[in-house]
Amino acid sequence: MSQIPRDRSLDSTLALLLDGYRFISKRCERYRSDIFETRLMLTKAVCMRGEEAARIFYDGDRLTRQGAMPVPVLKLLQDKGSVQQMDGQAHRHRKRMFMSLMTPASIQQIGDLFADQWRTRVGMWKDRGEVVLHEEMQEILCIAVCRWAGVPLTAAEAKQRAREFAAMIDGAGAVGPRNWRGLLLRARTERWIRDVIEKVRAGELTVAEESAAHAIAWYRDPDGELLDTKVAAVEMINLLRPTVAVAWYVTFAALALHEHPACRPRLEAGDGDYLECFVQEVRRFYPFFPLVGGRVQNGFEWKGYHFAQGIWVLLDLYGTNHDARVWDEPDVFRPERFRRWDRNAFNFISQGGGDHHESHRCPGEWITIELMKRAVTLLTMAMDYDVPEQDLRVDLSRMPAIPKSRFVITNARLTR
């Protein structure tokens, strides 16, 4: 067996916080290897990047997500008891419930709710002067996804709930106060959603049969049991929070339109193929989920390296999306590249890799793409706005990254 290249430093936790999205790639280049071993939080970790690494990472049940993320991060994202923490048959059964919500009609419905809400809000921005697009998007998405899912949300509550979801996303990539704030606010969300599940089950809240609230409240595991209320709430939050997270991509899409105005004419002309390429390039190019973690379930060998049971493995999502062997000039924003993309399930992994039903790949990927398409269409075909002078730099050591000013616009008005 070969020896996995070993990082020199005793512990790389600080380096991870400093190098952020570039942490794994930088070291892969240093060691001329797609794999290296290091220590993070005093624990041995094997870091990997690239298509072949993704293939092994998302292949069957080699790796479990149990014990693969520090608890304060896990609590803010998928949480204990969630589909992501499951393996094998139990995972596939629960995942089927998530995938049953991703029908074309359902995706269209959330897209319509989002676009309607967006149009209503732009009307309200008229007298506001500056509007912070990133914050507005969180609220618009929060309202749209709650309606779609069958979760009651009053207009007065929307801002607060959107802030709670955003704090979970923002806190997941941090240690210290940003993380604690997320945990504190999440406790409120959990109480709110548990109450919704209880009301659906008690018949006090009627929801559409095809809604997510119905699917989760009445989902029965392979033993025929309903989910524990706490776990049902966790799964509901796992639909709501990541949909609010699409605000990060919408903000990056607005930034891309601003920084690459040459892309606009084809979008303004309603070129659907180009719209698809543009949205995919935003998901590839901009930094959002940096990496995912797994732990080896059953030891295996790969490329002459031994992966012992229990080893902690980190897969570089951002670095794989920027791999120059697949993506020519990866640090250039170029939507056209997606015309030639081979639709490979392992070389473009912003939302995980492999098969949506079989692996841990994100079930919300099609919803994400649809919402982004709606957003880009609205920004280019249905409204005018100005982008005043501001600090739009994106710091790659901040996870999750976002333009510093969070994209401020002025004079926003609907044109059609």
CA atoms within 13 A on the CB side of 415: 12
Dihedral sign for Cα 321, 359, 12, 73, please: positive
Instruction: Give me the 330-359 binding string for ligand HEM, x by CB under 6 A, dash otherwise.
Output: --------------------xxx-------
Identity of residue 178: R
- Residue closer to ligand HEM by CB (options 185, 315) is 315
Q: Which stretch binds ligand HEM (CB under 6 A): 121-129, 242-250, 337-345, 408-416?
A: 242-250
Please state the closest distance from residue 33 (CB atom) to ligand HEM, in A. Answer: 22
Q: Which stretch binds ligand HEM (CB under 6 A): 124-132, 214-222, 241-249, 297-305?
A: 241-249
Instruction: Give me the 6-45 binding string for ligand HEM, x by CB under 6 A, dash otherwise.
Output: ----------------------------------------
Alpha-carbon torsion angle 344, 349, 352, 354, nearest 10: 10
Ranges within 393-412 binding ligand HEM (CB under 6 A): none
- Residue closer to ligand HEM by CB (options 36, 249) is 249
Q: Could you tell me if 215 and 101 are in contact, meaning their C-beta atoms sit under 8 angstroms apart?
A: yes
Which residue from 118, 125, 249, 274 is in contact with ligand HEM, where contact means CB under 6 A? 249
Instruction: Give me the 65-104 binding string for ligand HEM, x by CB under 6 A, dash otherwise.
Output: x------------x----xx----------x--x------
- Residue closer to ligand HEM by CB (options 35, 367) is 367
Q: Could you tell me if 309 and 297 are in contact, meaning their C-beta atoms sit under 8 angstroms apart?
A: yes
| Residue 211 interacts with ligand HEM (CB under 6 A): yes or no | no
Applying CB under 6 A, the site for ligand HEM has a residue count of 26
Q: Which two tokens stand for residue 211?
A: 């809604």
User: How many angstroms separate the CA atoms of 39 and 56, rounded?
Assistant: 21
Q: Could you tell me if 321 and 25 are in contact, meaning their C-beta atoms sit under 8 angstroms apart?
A: no
Which helix (H) or strand (E) segment holds residue 198: the answer is: helix 177-202
| Residue 242 interacts with ligand HEM (CB under 6 A): yes or no | yes
Please, where are the H alpha helices in 1-132? Answer: 13-19, 23-31, 51-57, 71-76, 88-99, 104-125
Q: Which stretch binds ligand HEM (CB under 6 A): 183-191, 245-253, 258-266, 408-416?
A: 245-253
- Residue closer to ligand HEM by CB (options 369, 412) is 369
Q: Which of 97, 96, 100, 69 is nearest to 85 (CA)?
A: 69
Which residue from 238, 251, 347, 380 is in contact with ligand HEM, where contact means CB under 6 A? 238
Dihedral sign for Cα 247, 252, 255, 261, please: negative
- Residue closer to ligand HEM by CB (options 264, 398) is 398
Ranges within 268-297 binding ligand HEM (CB under 6 A): 288-289, 292
Measuring CA to CA, how many Å separate 239 from each of 56, 78, 186, 244, 384? 27, 10, 14, 9, 31
Which residue from 117, 138, 189, 368 is in contact with ligand HEM, where contact means CB under 6 A? 368
Please state the closest distance from residue 370 (CB atom) to ligand HEM, in A. Answer: 10
Please state the closest distance from residue 367 (CB atom) to ligand HEM, in A. Answer: 5
SS3 306: strand
362 is in an annotated binding site: yes
Dihedral sign for Cα 205, 207, 213, 215, please: positive
35-40: strand order across its sheet: 35-40, 43-49, 312-316, 291-296, 63-64
Closest CB to ligand HEM belongs to which residue? 364
Give the residue ranges of the annotated binding site for heme: 362
Binding footprint of ligand HEM on the chain (CB under 6 A): 65, 78, 83-84, 95, 98, 238-239, 242-243, 245-246, 249, 288-289, 292, 317, 350-352, 360, 362-364, 367-368
